Amino acid sequence: MTVFAEAHTGAVQRRLLADGDHGPLPTPDAAQLVGMARDAGLTGRGGSGFPLWRKLNAVIASGRPPVIIANGAEGEPASGKDKALLAYQPHLVLDGLQLVARAARASTAHLYVPRPSALRAVLAARRDPIPVTLVAAPDAFVSGEESAVASAVAGRGAVPADKLTRLPDTGTLVQNVETLAHLAMIARYGAGWFRAAGTYDEPGTFLATVSGAVAAPGVLEAGYGVTLGSLIAAAGGPAGALSAVLVGGYHGAWVPADPELPISRAALAPFGASPGAGVVMALPSGACGLTENARIAGCLAGQSAGQCGPCVNGLPRLAATLADLAAFRSRPGLPAEVDRLTRLVTGRGACRHPDGTARLIASAMRAFSADVAAHLSGRCLATSGRFLTTEARA
Amino acid sequence: MTRLHIDWTACDGRGLCAELLPELLAEDDWGFPIARDGSPSPAVPGPLEPAAQRAVDRCPALALRLLRDTR
Ligand SMILES: Cc1cc2nc3c(=O)[nH]c(=O)nc-3n(C[C@H](O)[C@H](O)[C@H](O)COP(=O)(O)O)c2cc1C
Ligand code: SF4
Ligand code: SF4
């Protein structure tokens, strides 16, 4: 294992995705592990970016029987990094799971993945002190939401639950598989090593799934703060001119295709975006952002778990309104209606699916504001700005 | 401070609570309760607590709860 001595800027590099074996796993006690995770500044890689040490501490302090779960559901359609990690370095994930399970004094731990059979042999070849059970994650966007994960592991359906108390306070720890893999690296190489990648405020590397208009789509690893241009270059470079980039995932946000833009919370915040689960999807100039946005909104509306009125009713209404906009079925006040609906659904569900969907849509209305104006007058900028015929508008 | 929590997985949106607590709640496009202050779980001022408690007690879906001091 090479110890990198790069500067405090994000660069494309391989840590989790490096070849080889990392040797025996140290056995820190709970206080040491929490301390290391805190010193390293390790945050969740499943989308929320929440510090691992706080959740682990809350689980330990809860006094409740611990339920420890590695979340590899990866319901996000544009993401492939958890699958790649589990295929390439499953032992790092399983090491991280042992570390948190030990710290929480759990007698078992759970690995929640779409295709458990692929991991059976890997698990069988290990001699884990804490036995791990495999739980199948249904193929649905919300099945990776933490309360849905806890419900699935408890043998009920993988649907989100109402949250009167935060999950860690009930003794349940749900961590993304990548987060656990980083923890296994930190236990071996230390917090200082971890912090040598990324920025001061956002240390470490993250796995990125780069897709869309790039020559070689795939999963890459880079320090936080890596520029969009470096990530896209590492994915073979742009396949033609780009008009915008979706960052974070289907619950993320559209940002300008600016090669200098750093992928970090700090740099993306002005766009209402965050690195999220590491999704980077490049939109080619010839494609219409409003059409792409309507497609994603339709997909997300179809993924509502069907439990909460404002989500069940509001997301399809939003998707239909955006489909109208994309297809030039304009009417007065359409953008204002989109704005009203995004506010109407936000915060009004058992999970944050409506919030994430609303965030993505709001970002599209900002990033593609010129396209919105053009579409309202029956033109599309992406398809070379030409006027559509009346037949095409109907 | 007391807040009104809505369990969206239980609420069936007949809007009884909005009738019992019009100071705090309105109905959205589909009849589901929406806080007038726009917050997901609206703060309940002291004088409205009895009315809020009545809404909690009468919700047919047991979807409402008053949360005290937490958060
Ligand atoms: C609708 C929805 C879907 C989610 N899907 C996933 C997922 O597939 N995998 C994941 O790790 N986190 C997912 N999350 C985030 C989890 O709720 C949770 O924050 C995460 O697993 C915690 O792990 P971390 O702190 O290590 O990131 C989802 C959240 C929402 C609201
Ligand atoms: S907010 Fe939507 S996705 Fe989340 S639990 Fe409710 S209905 Fe399901
Ligand atoms: S009374 Fe209960 S079920 Fe009816 S709308 Fe209000 S919260 Fe929903």
Which CATH number fits the domain that encloses residue A294?
Answer: 1.20.1440.230
Distance in angstroms (rounded) separating the CA atoms of residues A22 and A1:
7
Is residue A65 over pLDDT 70? yes
Please report, for the domain that includes residue A126, its CATH number: 3.40.50.11540
Whether A294 maps to a domain, the answer reads yes
Instruction: Name which of A145, A164, A308 to mutate to probe chain B: the one with the most chain B Cβ atoms within 10 A of its Cβ.
Output: A308
Q: Which of A143, A167, A195 is the last residue of a domain?
A: A195
Whether A177 maps to a domain, the answer reads yes
pTM, whole model, 2 decimals? 0.94
Nearest atom of ligand 3 to the alpha carbon of B55: 1
Are A343 and B38 inside 8 Å of each other by CB? yes
Nearest residue to A275 (alpha-carbon basis) of A180, A374, A198: A198
Same domain flag for A141 and A40: yes
pLDDT tens, residue by residue, A202-236: 999 999 999 999 999 999 999 999 999 999 999 99
The tokens for B51 are 């009315």
In terms of DSSP bridges, do strands B33-35 and A253-256 run parallel, antiparallel, or are they unpaired? unpaired
Range of the domain at A238: 205-284
Same domain flag for A115 and A262: no
Distance in angstroms (rounded) separating the CA atoms of residues A362 and A338:
8
Predicted local confidence at residue A384, as pLDDT = 57
Tell me the percentage of chain A whose pLDDT exceeds 70. 95
CB of B45 within 8 Å of any CB in chain A? no
What is the nearest CA distance from B24 to chain A, expressed in angstroms? Answer: 15
Is residue A112 over pLDDT 60? yes
Predicted local confidence at residue B68, as pLDDT = 87
Nearest atom of ligand 1 to the alpha carbon of A79: 8
Predicted local confidence at residue A264, as pLDDT = 97
Is residue A1 over pLDDT 50? no
Q: Write out chain A residues lying below 8 Å of B3, CB-based.
A: none
Q: Is the CB of B12 inside a 6 Å radius of any atom of ligand 3?
A: yes
Is residue A74 over pLDDT 50? yes
Confidence of residue A386 (pLDDT cuts 50, 70, 90): very low
Mean of pLDDT values over A35-62: 97
pLDDT tens, residue by residue, A120-179: 999 999 999 999 999 999 999 999 999 999 999 999 999 999 998 899 999 999 999 999
Which residues share a beta bridge with B67? B3
Confidence of residue A20 (pLDDT cuts 50, 70, 90): confident
Sign of the dihedral defined by the CA atoms of residues A63, A69, A74, A75, in that order: negative
The domain B2-68: what is its CATH number? 3.30.70.20
The tokens for A300 are 């997300």
Helix and strand element counts for chain A (H, E): 16, 9
The tokens for A206 are 């993250």
Predicted local confidence at residue A305, as pLDDT = 80
Whether A382 maps to a domain, the answer reads no
Is residue A46 over pLDDT 80? yes
Q: What mean pLDDT value characterizes chain A?
A: 94
Sequence-ordered list of residues with C-beta below 8 angstroms from that of A59, at least 6 positions apart, any chain: A66, A68, A104, A168, A171, A172, A173
Domain count, chain A: 3
Q: What are the domain boundaries of chain B?
A: 2-68
Is residue A259 over pLDDT 60? yes
Whether A387 maps to a domain, the answer reads no
Same domain flag for A222 and A173: no
Whether A114 maps to a domain, the answer reads yes
Q: Is the CB of A142 inside a 6 Å radius of any atom of ligand 1?
A: yes
Same domain flag for A296 and A280: no
Predicted local confidence at residue A28, as pLDDT = 97
Is residue A392 over pLDDT 60? no
Q: Give Rg (Cα) of chain B.
A: 11
The DSSP output letter for A225 is T
Sequence-ordered list of residues with C-beta below 8 angstroms from that of B33, at least 6 positions apart, any chain: B6, B11, B13, B15, B17, B18, B25, B26, B27
Cβ burial, residue A377 (10 Å; 0-12/13-18/19+): exposed
Please report, for the domain that includes residue A245, its CATH number: 3.10.20.600
Same domain flag for A264 and A278: yes
Whether A388 maps to a domain, the answer reads no
Whether A385 maps to a domain, the answer reads no
Same domain flag for A152 and A215: no
Among B28, B64, B66, name the best residue to mutate to test ligand 3's pocket (greatest count of ligand atoms within 8 A of Cβ). Answer: B64
Same domain flag for A28 and A158: yes
pLDDT tens, residue by residue, A319-358: 999 999 999 998 889 999 999 999 999 999 999 999 999 9
Predicted local confidence at residue A33, as pLDDT = 98
Task: Name the residue in chain B with its Cα closest to that of A312.
Answer: B30
